[in-house]
Amino acid sequence: MYETFTVVIAMIVTLGFGVAVGWWTAAKAFKLEIHGIESRVADDQANYLMILRRELANYVIRREPVRFINAYKKNHEDLKQYEKFSKAALIGEYTALCKRFKYFRDLDIVETRSHVLYEDAFEGMSVDDVLAHYWTICKFQRLKILLDAHWASFGVTSDQDLAHCEEYVTAITDAKFVVRLENAIKTYYGSRVAVFADFENDEISVRSLDSFLETRYGVGFKDTNEFGIWSVFYFDEVDKAPLITYRRSDSSFTVETSVQTRLKDFFS
């Protein structure tokens, strides 16, 4: 009898231990599964916001590249300062944004079909408005990163990204400058009354520059007070296309600085 009782107790203890282990294992697995879900949700949300930012940034940087990079420099430093905020202050900032944007979809100010041109979609919005909303999204991301452990591995801005942005803005401004030079020369050739004659209208001034090897023109843009040199070199081979070069300069056309042309076709 005693032995039977002992066996029953042992079986109950064993069964209980097994149930406890099973429950603990299931709970741990469930916890890991939930953690995985939350991480994946955070990843999807972060990627969604990055896509929204890309839409806005592409629109602004095409039109106002210098304004975009200046805003990047300022806001990059401002976002760094959040690391010094107390948790209560961060929560306050985050709560204020959540009151403005109750759902992630509210952060999408484009709100149009995928095939609609951005120029059409943003009609009625100023560049300042679009740029401000871009940095609102960045601010939201930064706060999420500091408040939510599932967002901790994501980034918003960085010194490396800023450096790349500066280089890219230079490429854009150079490309737009090259296109302006090309258009100025087209205007010059279409309007001049004599070979190598000086030309001037309300927007540009063009004059021939001395050169033994090239045909060179100095161009001035009155609205921006910028100056450039357009030159063409003709090869002896008749089937070889002329070599056209573009340079930035000063009002005397004695300074020459090379410019990048790789993006010019996007602005022609």
The helix or strand, by DSSP H or E, that contains position 247, with its residue range, turns out to be: strand 243-249
Neighbours of 64 (CB within 10 A): 18
* Spatial distance between the Cα atoms of 3 and 7, rounded to a whole number of angstroms: 6
The residue written with tokens 């042992």 in the block is 10
The residue extents of the domains of the chain are 2-157, 175-266
Q: What is the pLDDT of residue 194?
A: 81
pLDDT single digits (tens) 7-16? 444 444 454 5
Q: What is the pLDDT of residue 32?
A: 46
Neighbours of 57 (CB within 10 A): 16
Residues 138, 140, 141: CA angle, nearest 5 degrees: 65
The residue written with tokens 């004599």 in the block is 194
| Sites in the chain below the pLDDT cut of 50 | 1-2, 5, 7-13, 15, 17, 19, 21, 26, 29-30, 32
Q: What is the pLDDT of residue 17?
A: 46
pTM: 0.82
Q: What is the pLDDT of residue 33?
A: 52
